[in-house]
Amino acid sequence: MAGATNMFFMGKGGVGKSTAAALNSLFLAQKGFQILIVSLDPAHNQSDIFETSLSDKPTKIADNLMGIEIDQDYWIRRYLKDVQNQIKRTYSYLTSFNLEKYFEVIKYSPGLEEYALILVFKDIMQKFGHLDFLMFDMPPTALGLRFFTLPTLSLIWIEQLVALRQEIIKKRDLITKVKLIKKEVETDKILNKINEMKKDYQNLKDIFEDSNQTLINIVLNPDKLSLAESTRIVEALHDINITCSQIINNKMQLHSSCDDINTTFSDIPICQCPYSETQLIGLTNLEQFLKANDSVLEEQVNHLLPSAAEK
Amino acid sequence: MTKREHTIILLLVIEMKPIVKTIKDKLLEAWKVADGVARGKAIETIEFEAEELDHIFGILVLASFVGLPSPPMQISLDLMPLMEQELMLMMEKVDTAHEPISDLFSVFDIG
């Protein structure tokens, strides 16, 4: 397999997306794939589910399976520190300026949470891209959707900024020509930076839109509220050209009706995952559940990656 | 022409040479100044336009710091270290912000 496949688990709070991510990770690890499960949810349930203390360094959970928990605040702090240092280096007249005070406020700015997740995603892809699967246990819906929207939204702004910058450069070139000043060889640093950013966001957008690299699982329960929220997630992702790979109808019981779910998501593969009488906590319980419901997980993997089930 | 007359003319030409050169240099200098002034006048409006565009760019990117709608925060923060000139311009513009018409009049030399 060329490069890691990114698998995301999204859904309403409490539907069992962390458990679904854990079960899928363990199942694929048992099949012999190299897996890293990444908890992007600030609630960090993976440590509890696997009863293993996870940190920002990969920790072995089982054979072929490692886990990481992300400290979002750390990534925001690290990013702001970088910007602060760059500003200090370039703005010589601001040496007496109390930048720390301003950046203390900026860290609460809207938009930085999802950007921290993007930084984490890029870092994980770079460091663990050689593995077979990167499984992302996503934060609550609002933040999860903002994470996927960020590249598209940023590209809209960047397009406008590039156009304006090119207009400025055109005018400056004209001034240089008329004034017969020796043309500066140095290119526009701002335009270079914007183009660099554009390439970066386009790359992320391409990864999210490519259903061979990105598989999105929507986890829901057979109830109206989680169905309504899942519908909104699928629509919001569809608006930015991202398709959902699978619906996991979790905690299914004998009397549960899934007619509404089947009708609503008629064009997306749906997998029924049974309700577990025992709490799915600890490796032993998870393995027992997998043993008892091997066909269910097999079906899930078949939906996502026909070739994966064959391994 | 006699030999004497020829010699006088030759001496005159030799004597005149530096004067002609000085006149030529002065004329060239005057032409350069006039050319510079003309070129300066010709692009005054373009320079003002470029400065205004710089200002718009600055406001667009760094607007969140003065409470205006702005791009996603990370775009502003990533570009901020490179925008010293735009920031200075924004600060300068604060002085003329209350009299935009007078600022425009000064560009078109309307007194």
Share of chain A above pLDDT 90, in %: 53
Residue A39: name the closest of A75, A68, A10, A17 by CA: A68
Residues of B in contact with A86 (CB under 8 A): 81
pTM: 0.80
Separation of alpha carbons A238 and A242, rounded Å:
5
| Residue from the list A157, A179, A189 with its beta carbon closest to the beta carbon of B43 | A179
Residues of B in contact with A177 (CB under 8 A): none
Confidence of residue A81 (pLDDT cuts 50, 70, 90): confident
- Hey, are the CB atoms on A161 and B84 less than 8 Å from each other? no
Residues of A in contact with B72 (CB under 8 A): 111, 115, 150, 153-154, 157
pLDDT score for A215:
93
| Residue from the list A109, A150, A171 with its beta carbon closest to the beta carbon of B46 | A171
Check pLDDT > 70 for residue A59: yes
What is the C-alpha R_g of chain A?
Answer: 23
| Residue from the list B47, B50, B73 with its beta carbon closest to the beta carbon of A112 | B73
Q: Which residue of A has its CA nearest to B64?
A: A109
| Residue from the list A154, A167, A171 with its beta carbon closest to the beta carbon of B72 | A154
The tokens for B32 are 């350069």
pLDDT in tens, A218-265: 999 888 898 999 999 999 999 999 999 999 988 877 676 778 888 899
The tokens for A30 are 């048992």
pLDDT in tens, A147-167: 999 999 999 999 999 999 999
Confidence of residue A309 (pLDDT cuts 50, 70, 90): very low
Average pLDDT, integer, range B92-104: 67
The tokens for A44 are 């960090």
Mutation to test the A interface, candidates B78, B87, B89, B91, most A Cβ within 10 Å: B78
Burial class (CB within 10 angstroms; exposed 0-12, middle 13-18, buried 19+) of A207 = middle
Q: Which residue of B has its CA nearest to A191?
A: B79
Check pLDDT > 70 for residue A185: no
Residues of B in contact with A153 (CB under 8 A): 72
Higher pLDDT, B40 or A54: A54
Q: Running DSSP on this structure, what letter comes out for residue B71?
A: S
The tokens for A71 are 């400290």
Give the three-class secondary structure for B27: helix
ipTM of the complex: 0.78
- Hey, are the CB atoms on A115 and B73 less than 8 Å from each other? yes
Separation of alpha carbons B64 and B17, rounded Å:
68
Chain B residues whose C-beta is within 8 A of a chain A C-beta are 39-40, 42-43, 46-47, 49-50, 53-54, 56-57, 60-61, 64, 71-75, 77-84, 87
| Residue from the list B43, B73, B84 with its beta carbon closest to the beta carbon of A109 | B73
pLDDT score for B44:
82
- Hey, are the CB atoms on B43 and A175 less than 8 Å from each other? yes
Separation of alpha carbons A283 and A289, rounded Å:
10
Pairing type for strands A59-62 and A65-69 reads antiparallel
Q: Running DSSP on this structure, what letter comes out for residue B31?
A: H
- What is the pLDDT of chain B when averaged over all its residues? 80
Highest mean pLDDT among A109-123, A192-206, A269-283: A192-206
Count CB atoms within 10 A of the CB of residue A35: 27
